[in-house]
Amino acid sequence: MKTFCTSLAAVALGALIAPQVLAEDAARTISVSGEGKAAARPDIATINTGVVTQAASAGDALAANNKSLERIMEVLKVHKIASKDIQTSNFDVRPEYRRGPRGQQQMEIVGHRVTNQVRVRVRNLPDLGKVLDSLVKAGSNQISGISFGIDDALRITNKARGRAIQDGRSRAELFAGVADVRVGKVLSISERPIQVPRPQFMGRAMAAEAASVPVATGEQEVRVTVHMVFALQDLE
């Protein structure tokens, strides 16, 4: 009976000590941030182009707008822009007012304005300048912006992620070496929101005389930051 009681006491003592040891090991960690980046030239552009027309009546303004937009759609077909890459982004019909004589609160409707804008994705970037020039000549008097992107953005992002993790481990090993310990297993990895800068050419094209509009696509860089926690171990 004495032997049995002794064994129970040993087990109980071990149960009390074990959590303390684990807690001490868990406290021995190092937290670092790793940064990685990858760059590639854009291979896709998105433009917003459309037509603004004015007339005395809404019907006349709409009819004129439709004719101009039809020419724009024909231009996009000539440049082999797929229908899936063309989407209406804004359609607006509104009256235009003129303030009455001084002292009168009522405003007079003097005409109507119709705006129809489409978002176009251009996948053949070498043809982008010619597309812009053709759109303006076809009657587009509203080009509000151009944004560039990478069609397979995930591939570039994953490359940056891998470099960020490598950088995090490298930093952890540097700190651990100075502290005379070594890096153990990864306990957690979290990623901060990814920032992808989009170079843009902003402006409104009203006329074009050149054979094609000069466009600079530049290069896009993806930056990834990860937060990593490693366990620390004693040097053997």
CATH code of the domain containing 102:
3.30.70.2970
Residue 17 lies in a domain: no
Say whether pLDDT at 18 is over 50: no
Q: DSSP for 55-97, please give it.
A: ESSHHHHHHHHHHHHHHHHHHHHHTT--GGGEEEEEEEEEEEE
Residue 139 lies in a domain: yes
User: What is the rounded distance in angstroms from the CA atom of residue 167 to the CA atom of residue 34?
Assistant: 5
Mean residue pLDDT of the chain comes to 82
> Which residue, of 115, 149, 183, is where some domain finishes?
149
For residue 122, give its domain range: 44-149
Domain count, the chain: 2
Confidence category of residue 196, pLDDT binned at 50, 70, 90: low
User: What is the rounded distance in angstroms from the CA atom of residue 71 to the CA atom of residue 37?
Assistant: 43
To the nearest whole percent, how much of the chain has pLDDT over 90? 60
**For 207-223, how does the pLDDT look when each residue is reduced to its tens digit (9 = 90+)?**
334 346 677 677 888 99
Rounding to the nearest 10 degrees, give the CA dihedral for residues 128, 199, 195, 88.
-50
Residue 211 lies in a domain: yes
> Which residue, of 89, 121, 149, is where some domain finishes?
149
Say whether pLDDT at 125 is over 50: yes
> Which residue, of 116, 149, 182, is where some domain finishes?
149
- State whether 37 and 48 are in the same domain: no
**For 31-54, how does the pLDDT look when each residue is reduced to its tens digit (9 = 90+)?**
999 999 999 989 899 999 999 999
- State whether 138 and 204 are in the same domain: no
| Region for residue 146 given its phi and psi (left: phi exceeds 0; alpha: psi -120 to 50; beta: otherwise) | beta
Longest CA–CA span in the chain (Å) reads 113
Q: Where are the alpha helices (DSSP H) in the chain?
A: 2-27, 58-78, 128-138, 153-178
